[in-house]
Amino acid sequence: MPLIQIKEGLDIHYQLLNPKGEETITIIHGMFGNLSQFYLSIGPELAKQYTVLVFDLKSHGKSSKYPTGYGEDELAKDMVLLWDALQIEKSHILGFSFGAILALKTGINYPNRVGEIIAMELPPLPKDPIKGQGTYSWNEFIYFVHTLPAHIRENFLSSKRRLHKMFTMYEYILNETTFVPDTNARVPLAEADLAKLTEKCLFLFGNTSVCIPELERIQDWIKNHYVYIFEGKHDFFINQSLQVAQLIQQFLSTTDFDTSGSIAIIRNEQ
């Protein structure tokens, strides 16, 4: 898969599926994830209709290590720089977990560059500030791995090489970048933020997800947007990738999408 420089010292690892599609959808993975989360699941199904751009955030996957700029505004700017480098004028965005925050922030800051937004598993802010730089160890990393969704946890624990590679990324981001202070400086999404979005948004959650409290906090502000709840946890899309992709395709391709301002529940048919 190719790398492209978006600014001095920062090469982004990316992949384009169906490069000749008439419209583009960009997928942003979650923190400590990588593009394979969607390259192997929802991406191929969406690529039947759209050009799909998947990429690794800086210091993730095969993208360059980079010491600064982990605030939402800086990461949203990286998103636009990537589009500039790839000559993408406008794109829909699908963001998962931390990527959902970045999708919304990019839509707020760069409305002329962003089409419709799918925010999947929008997470709440951590209740307490995360620890300072230089304090993260192997034991804390192993504890962190055991808090991950089952499919990710089992994937890492099944291979020592993969586990150590993940630790190298985790250790670098938490100990040697501005990720910790940038994260601690974040503020919750506000009603005024959603009001700045010029295109409609689709919010997706698992009904037993740790992110449900964030939905409960913001749901009264979602006036012109849409919420669907799937059966499952934070990683509900893994076992329901076809169903999720078809819903997203319907959302992007129709002007009379159902349940404006309300919540629809989708049962797992598998």
Q: What pLDDT does residue 190 have?
A: 87
Find the Cα–Cα–Cα–Cα dihedral 62, 35, 189, 171, rounded to 10°. -40
> Which range has the worst mean pLDDT, 19-28, 204-213, 221-230, 232-241?
221-230
- Report which of residues 254 and 171 the model is more confident about: 171
How much of the chain, in percent, has pLDDT values that exceed 70? 90
pLDDT band at 261 (very low <50, low <70, confident <90, very high): very low
Q: Of 21, 103, 19, which Cα lies nearest the Cα of 57?
A: 103
DSSP designation for 130: P
Structure confidence by residue, pLDDT tens digits, 14-44: 999 999 999 999 999 998 889 988 988 899 9
Find the Cα–Cα–Cα–Cα dihedral 236, 237, 239, 244, rounded to 10°. 120
Compute CA distances 259 → 2, 52, 138, 181, whole Å. 40, 26, 46, 39
Q: Which CATH number fits domain 3-126+194-266: 2.60.120.650, 3.40.30.10, 2.30.110.10, 3.40.50.1820?
A: 3.40.50.1820
End-to-end CA gap in the chain: 32
Would you say 241 and 96 are in contact if contact means Cβ atoms under 8 Å apart? no
Cα atoms in the 13 Å half-sphere on the side-chain side of 213 = 7
Mean pLDDT of the chain: 88
Find the Cα–Cα–Cα–Cα dihedral 154, 248, 19, 24, rounded to 10°. -120
Would you say 25 and 55 are in contact if contact means Cβ atoms under 8 Å apart? no
Compute CA distances 265 → 106, 130, 204, whole Å. 27, 34, 10
The pTM of this model reads 0.90
Structure confidence by residue, pLDDT tens digits, 105-159: 999 999 999 999 999 999 988 777 777 777 778 888 888 777 766 656 776 777 8
- Given a cut of 70, is residue 165 above it in pLDDT? yes
Q: Of 216, 243, 217, which Cα lies nearest the Cα of 232?
A: 243
Dist CA 69 CA 197 (whole Å): 23
Domain boundaries along the sequence of the chain: 3-126+194-266
DSSP designation for 56: P
Would you say 20 and 51 are in contact if contact means Cβ atoms under 8 Å apart? yes
Q: What pLDDT does residue 267 have?
A: 54
DSSP designation for 124: P
Would you say 162 and 156 are in contact if contact means Cβ atoms under 8 Å apart? yes
Dist CA 34 CA 24 (whole Å): 19
Q: What pLDDT does residue 155 have?
A: 64
